[in-house]
Copies of this chain bind each other. A is one copy, B any other.
Amino acid sequence: MYAEIITIGDEILIGQIIDTNSAYISKALNKIGVSVYQITSVQDEKDHILQAFSEAEKRADIIIVTGGLGPTKDDITKHTICEYFEDTLVQNDEVLEHVKELFSKFITTPISEVNKRQALVPSKSKVLMNKYGTAPGMWIEKNKKVFISLPGVPFEMKALMEDEVLPRIRKEFHCPFILHKTILTYGVGESALAERIEDWENNLPAFIKLAYLPNLGMVRLRLTAKGDSKDVVEKEVNRQIEKLYPLIGDSISGMENDRSIEAVLGELLAKKGKTLAVAESCTGGKIAQRITGVPGASAYFKGSIVTYATETKIETLNVPKELIETHSVVSAEVAEAMAKNVKALFNTDFAISTTGNAGPSKGDSDAEIGTVFIGIATPNAVFSFNSNMGNHREKVVNKATNKAFELLQKEILKF
């Protein structure tokens, strides 16, 4: 059983946006046993879309199409679907009511004829209600193939996938079981690794595929297995992973996990009834933003201060001026004072702080670009960690944020 994804929109083909929808859809389909054979991005142009439809139909059972469902002229997906399926647009009353409701609740301009056209759908399609937007999803069948049209706005598409598309596919198709497991390795290059596991790789059963994913100092080994029995697939994959340890166990650091570290952290804090505060300098709000991106964070996250300027570290966080003058604002001492003081200010059990130089130019300190100090305050200790996180601003901020979460997680587990 194969699916294909077709994303429609000139903005993808001129590089104005990065297509993140396809990765999301591929991952979601894989989890329910549907393999994606091809992803195709095409222009807002009828003939091109028709061609992509007919090519995809030859190869796949399920074709998911995103984009081109807005109310304006350049959005032509609905009309193209009508042409492809020899169909016409008819008004769907439920969608019309929904559009009217969204307008009355959230939009100040009055509803127009153009907006009402969002309720027109191909007569042969089943409507998939889009609770977050005016463009409905559509499910339409032809010669035992299914075409599913979804809006291109990521959060609308995601909600439709989860609430409508995935349950319906699971119901109407017999899906095999697909398992991906990714082993993280450090310190050995791709080809050296390949030599050490050559015999093992050659003896893998046919239903297990291996891929090497090298990236800046680490190589991820991905095993993909497919079969009818979940039990058989899982057992065999685990058996093969066990066999890897005698060969490269010294460089395996663990298995890749699907959940974000801030979600894992949040669950830990909530379970233990502990609270957290944050003081950020070089990470500039990124840590707080990731923590508050987890629904329910208000149960354990009290708040954060971004002290971007040196003087605010002194004024709002009470970091002693002398400490900064003696050790510099990018130092273990300042990171630790920030963590300790923000913990006191918000009256929490734990606190994280960052101070560093993310580049591209030097700020209030002479520290080398990339230098970051992370402070951690726990119920009974304060300590700091530092390293150089590279010469790319975004990379430094992300690396520092991940490291802070990693350090905090170790500490929380002790309480």
Contacts and interface: CB of A to CB of B under 8 A. Distances in A.
Interface of A: 10-20, 22-28, 30, 35-44, 48, 52, 55, 70-75, 105-109, 112, 114-115, 131-132, 153, 155, 159, 180, 182, 188-192, 194-195, 201, 209-215, 222, 224, 278, 280, 284-289, 291-293, 295-298, 301-309, 311-312, 315-316, 345-347, 359-361, 363-364, 370, 387-395
Contacts of A195: 112, 114
Best-buried of A109, A132, A388 by chain B (most CB within 10 Å): A109
A292 B285 contact: yes
Given A16-B213, A309-B301, A392 B155 contact: yes
A308 B315 contact: no
Given A10-B211, A303-B312, A15 B42 contact: no
20 contacts: A10-B209, A12-B23, A13-B35, A14-B35, A15-B22, A15-B30, A44-B211, A70-B214, A72-B191, A109-B189, A115-B189, A132-B390, A280-B288, A285-B286, A285-B287, A285-B289, A295-B360, A298-B308, A302-B311, A306-B306
Contacts of A360: 295
B16 A132 contact: no
Contacts of A364: 298
A364 B299 CA distance: 10
Given A109-B188, A347-B315, A302 B308 contact: yes
Given A38-B43, A292-B308, 6 more contacts: A10-B222, A16-B222, A108-B387, A109-B192, A115-B189, A301-B308
A107 B222 contact: no
Contacts of A293: 284, 394
Contact of A296 (B182, B289, B361): B361
Contact of A306 (B16, B48, B190, B288): B288
Nearest to A399: B106
A8 to B, nearest CB: 11
B303 A212 contact: no
* 7 closest Cβ pairs, A-B complex: A284-B292, A15-B27, A285-B288, A15-B26, A285-B289, A114-B191, A304-B306
